[in-house]
Amino acid sequence: MPPSRCAHKMSRRKKTERIEALVTFMETADRQAMGARLKEIWAIPQSTITELRLLLTMGADPSCLYEDEYGRKTLEDRLELGRVCEECAPKWQAFIDHALNVHEEMWEKKPVLLGKRRGLVALCLDGGGMRGLVSIVCLLFASRRLFGNETLPNCFDWLIGTSTGSVLALNLAKGKTASECFYDYWKMKNKIFDENGSTMSRLLGDQVRIQTQSMNKVLKESFPTQTFQQCSRRLTVPALDIAYAPAKLHIFRNYSFTLPFGAALPDEDINFRDAARASSAAPTYFEPHAMGDHRFVDGSFVANYPLNILFKEYDQFAKHGNPIDLSGVLSIGTGEPAVVQRKYKCGTSIKSRAKNITHVTTLILEQVVGQDLTAVEMASDRCAAHGIPFFRISPVGINVRIDQTDDGKLMDMVWTTLLYLVNNLELIDSLGNFMNSIHSEPDSDSRRRSNTVL
């Protein structure tokens, strides 16, 4: 008799095996093949909603589910036989309600055609651990909607990334597509983070040392030989040097404030993996990264939203008599949590004091992983004052741990991201209008254009 229990109740090992097999298939499959696989998986009792969401995210056409109402009828049969539980039923229903719209809005807009470029366009990528998947999906969606392919990251002359954003920025600088970055991140989580880890095991056990070794191995595999001075685009990666007190901001860069870009620099060349490791060394997750007399920790402590670093560098060019023409800025976040009222009570008992310490710890962590939008507001104001178009894309409703390894929870996060993008298409389309304008008006002054804040 066919199984009557919901697939989400399978062991984690079996679910992981299914996801790994699917990801291996998708890495080489085209959209047509992924669409056929989606229809096949829809009716398999052992399939999970995570598999379907993965396929849709990476380009599968869900139209087959709507022919003769195949998707709805099959779902009704699964519900009737108890193969989808009450907990999962809303997710399956939401998929059939929204999948076609998500696909159409991602793919079926007339592509933007670009001509000759002018001015520098900067891409700023926030920190946030595994929430970096949110940034990648935003890039994927925007690129497919605007160009019908994955060329959007190639439109940026200046890449600035903090923590997980530095890993993404350097992978894009290396020439990887957004899809390749997605697959890398998806597989990277289980290579680096302990799925059974906890705060106490990180603080009192050996987990930090083990995760550090794993991180070093992953970065060495990702960036075996790439260096900053070999890169044809401007790169900026911040970290915090704690070798001395007080700690000091350190910026890895491949340009000089006084020399033409591309000129040989007197400073020692930096490996991609060292910069990424330094900027991603989140305390309690990884050990500090040692380089000579320096000891680096996560750049999120000083710039989880690296917009302030962008404008610090921008001002340095002007200070040294070598101003640059910044035509526009795109800032992509790793998601913001939904706004809720915080429960915070003071007290004098030991229990109350312990709760207060927990609240303060949470507040500090929020600052580190980027839940303070002050930097974005200041950047928006700065761009408005100087007539520089500014765009910010960061889905709301994302509340996932930076070391999350659960496939289902990560795909819940990705699904939230897709729905946010579909509901905020004006963000993407305004970016497309801007990209078109800086290619079609080669003689106009970029500083005279009106500012766009999203």
Reading the chain (454 residues) residue by residue, the pLDDT tens digits are 345 678 888 888 899 999 999 999 999 999 999 999 999 999 888 899 999 999 999 999 999 999 999 999 999 998 888 888 888 999 999 999 999 999 999 998 878 766 666 679 999 999 999 999 999 999 999 999 999 999 999 999 999 999 999 999 999 999 999 999 999 999 999 899 987 765 556 665 688 999 999 999 999 999 999 999 999 999 999 999 999 999 999 999 999 999 999 888 888 899 999 999 999 999 889 999 999 999 999 988 888 889 999 999 999 999 999 999 999 999 999 998 876 555 656 666 766 665 665 555 555 555 555 556 788 999 999 999 999 999 999 999 998 988 999 999 999 999 999 999 999 999 999 999 998 888 765 444 433 333 333 3
Position 440 scores a pLDDT of 60
The string of pLDDT tens digits covering residues 253-308 is: 999 999 999 888 888 899 999 999 999 999 889 999 999 999 999 988 888 889 99
Q: Which residues of 84-95 are buried (b: 16+ CB within 10 A; e: fewer)?
A: beeebeebbeeb
Domains in the chain: boundaries:
7-108, 120-336+371-439
Position 262 scores a pLDDT of 86
Identify whether the C-beta of residue 296 lies closer than 8 Å to the C-beta of residue 281: yes
Q: How far is CA 74 from CA 304, 336, 448, in A?
A: 45, 35, 56
Position 346 scores a pLDDT of 64
Position 9 scores a pLDDT of 83
Residues recognised as catalytic: 163, 298
Position 1 scores a pLDDT of 39
Question: pTM for the complete prediction?
Answer: 0.89
Burial (Cβ within 10 Å: 0-12, 13-18, ≥19) of residue 11:
exposed
Three-state SS string over the chain comes to CCCCCCHHHCCHHHHHHHHHHHHHHHCCCCHHHHHHHHHHHHCCCCCCHHHHHHHHHCCCCHHHHHHHHHHHHHHHHHHHCCCCCCCCHHHHHHHHHHHHHHHHHHHCCCCCCCCCCCCEEEEEECCCHHHHHHHHHHHHHHHHHHHCCCCHHHHCCEEEECCHHHHHHHHHHHCCCHHHHHHHHHHHHHHHCCCCCCHHHHHHCCHHHHHHHHHHHHHHHHCCCCEHHHCCCEEEEEEEECCCCCCEEEEEECCCCCCCCCCCCCCCCCEHHHHHHHHCCCCCCCCCEEECCEEEECCHHHHCCCHHHHHHHHHHHHHCCCCCCEEEEEEECCCECCCCCCCCCCCCCHHHHHHHHHHHHHHHHHHHCCCCCHHHHHHHHHHHHHCCCEEEECCECCCCCCCCCCHHHHHHHHHHHHHHHHHCHHHHHHHHHHHHHHHHCCCCCHHHCCCCCC
In CATH, what is the architecture of 120-336+371-439? 3-Layer(aba) Sandwich (3.40)
Position 111 scores a pLDDT of 80
The string of pLDDT tens digits covering residues 368-419 is: 555 567 889 999 999 999 999 999 999 999 989 889 999 999 999 999 999 9
Position 341 scores a pLDDT of 58
* Ramachandran quadrant class, 112 (left: phi over 0; alpha: psi -120 to 50; beta: rest): beta
